[in-house]
Structures are given as C-alpha cells and as structure tokens.
Amino acid sequence: MPFQKLHLIVNPAAGRNEAILNTVNDVFHAVDLRWDVSVTLQDGDGAQAARTALDDGADLIVVYGGDGTVKDVASGMVEADVPLAILPGGTGNALIYKLGLPDSLKAACQLITQPHDFRPLDLGHVRCEKSAAEGYFLLRANVGLSNAIVEKASRDLKDRFGNLAYLFSAIQSLNQADEIEFQVTADQDSLRLTGVACMVANAVTIGGGAAFDFAPEVLVDDQTLDLFIFEHQSTAILEILKSQLSADLSQFKGHYPGRHFHIATAAPQNITLDGEVLGETPPPLRSS
C-alpha cells in the first residue's frame, strides 16, 4: 500500500444519502489503510482542512462532495506535492464524469487501494483587480447567466431532481437574462463582446453526465483554458445542443482558447468558481 497516512475531507451537505464513513471504513480497513477525517461546514473549510492535513504529514488527501467541495479542497493544495483523490458525493459531480472516475462510493474507495497512475490537472486562478477577492477553479469561472443557474438550482431542487435541477434553472435563467458588455483580452488579443454570459472553462460539463458536456473537446489537462460568450438568450441553449450533437466547438460563435484572460464589464457582475459564488466583485478580473 503506497499511502501511509490518508486524510478524508467530507461535505455532509453533499447531495447523496448514503452511509459515507461506514463504506469508507469497510474498504480501507480491509487493507489496513490508516486514515482520519474532517468535516466542512462552509466554503473555505475544505482548503483549511487540506492545509492542516498536509502539515500533519498526510500523503493522500481524499474529498467527498460535489464540484464546489473538490475545488475548495484543491485550493488548499496548490503548492503541495501530494495527490488528491475524489469520491462521488455531490449532485452534479461534473469532474467525476470528465475524469472517468467511478460514480459509486465503494468503487471509488476501492480504486484508491489499488495500483494506479496519477493524472495532473489544470487549475484556473481568478483575481479581481479592484478587491481582495481571488480563488481557484477546476472546471469553470462564470460571469453572468451561469451564476443565475447555480443560484436558482436550490438544494431542494437538487434533492428532488438531481442533475435536472441545473437544466430547469438554465431554462428559467435564459428567459430572464440581460445582455452584458464584456471587454476581453485573450492572451494578446483584445475583444469587445456582448452576450448573456461569459465562461472561462477548464471543462464545460454542467451538472455531470454526458448530456451536460456541451464541449467534450475541452480538456482538463491540456494547459489551456477556453472562454465562451453566449451571445443571446435565444441562441445560448441552441449552441449547447448543436455542440452536443456534433462535438464541434466551431458551433460556438464566441469561443476563444487561451492561457490568460482579462475580463472587464460595464457594471459589476457576480462570479462563480465551480458552482460556488465568489461574491459580487467589481470588474475587471484576471483568469489564468
């Protein structure tokens, strides 16, 4: 067994009703794997728990929760040379799907106990120039419409409908969206764009599952980010559906790959990182 000290970080509010610790203990105890656990109560707890565990000598961090929890924990491991393992625990689990990891808690735990290779992932960083707000994302940073999708997909809606909560909230948000003016620098190119939403993506799986991966060609380990502008309420969902059928990113009129982005808007906009609201931050922001 390559790991001597494993630390598990659990979000108890994650969207699954299962005996988490019993399952984990059964699998790890069978191979004499030493582990301990901490629990998150709010955003930021995961990063702090990861830093504390690393200081205590953990050689593997394991996270149980949704994409926001995974992002939170990864944020506390940016400079660490210690791997992160992900257990499926949220409603969407888009990163689980994108990486091809097991959707079963027991199977994911068993994978940790077996020989395997590690996979490096890109990690996006966002910094707002006019405030102290900054953070990381594994999947995407959203400005505009996508924030409304997250906010409208309430815990009750997620519990009742699972991944469909994101689809319901997307349709509702599209009908209510106002256009936003974006001033974008993509690497060295300056662009003035108008749309209902802006997304800087490391992956664009929304809510988990193939039906929500509207750009399968966008990879989490290609050292490149992809900026998408959804230009109008009536075309945003159509573009997603067309790309899903063809797996062709050229369907998007507003797609700009790059490593560094500078984004400014005419008025302040909320920003979300992997489904978690960073806050209402005055523009501009930098993403890399």
CATH code of the domain containing 57? 3.40.50.10330
- Which of 112, 147, 178 terminates a domain? The answer is 112
Contact 67, 220 (CB under 8 A): no
Q: Give percent of the chain above pLDDT 90.
A: 40
Rounded distance between C-alpha atoms, residue 265 and residue 269, angstroms: 8
Tell me the per-residue pLDDT of 49-59, one tens digit each, with 9 for 90 and over.
999 999 999 99
Output the pLDDT for position 68. 87
- Which of 112, 137, 154 terminates a domain? The answer is 112
Contact 71, 124 (CB under 8 A): no
Q: How far is CA 124 from CA 211, 231, 258, in A?
A: 24, 23, 12
* Confidence grade of residue 245 (pLDDT, cut at 50, 70, 90): very low
Residues 71 and 171 in one domain: no
- For the cut 80, the answer to whether the pLDDT of residue 287 exceeds it is no
Tell me the per-residue pLDDT of 76-134, one tens digit each, with 9 for 90 and over.
999 899 999 999 987 768 888 888 899 999 999 999 999 888 899 999 999 887 777 88
- For the cut 50, the answer to whether the pLDDT of residue 249 exceeds it is no
Output the pLDDT for position 116. 81
Q: Which of 172-176, 177-181, 226-230 has the highest mean pLDDT?
A: 226-230
Contact 158, 91 (CB under 8 A): yes
Residues 128 and 223 in one domain: yes
Query: Among 51, 272, 140, which Cα is nearest to 9's?
Result: 51
Residues 146 and 275 in one domain: yes
More confident residue, 193 or 276: 193
Q: Any idea what DSSP says for residue 3?
A: -
Residues 81 and 195 in one domain: no
* Confidence grade of residue 11 (pLDDT, cut at 50, 70, 90): very high
166 Ramachandran zone, left/alpha/beta (phi>0; psi -120 to 50): alpha
> Across all residues in the chain, what is the average pLDDT?
80
Q: Which domain holds residue 186?
A: 124-287
* Confidence grade of residue 181 (pLDDT, cut at 50, 70, 90): confident
Count of C-beta atoms within a 10 Å radius of residue 74: 24
Count of C-beta atoms within a 10 Å radius of residue 132: 7
CATH number reported for the structural domain that contains residue 252 in this entry? 2.60.200.40
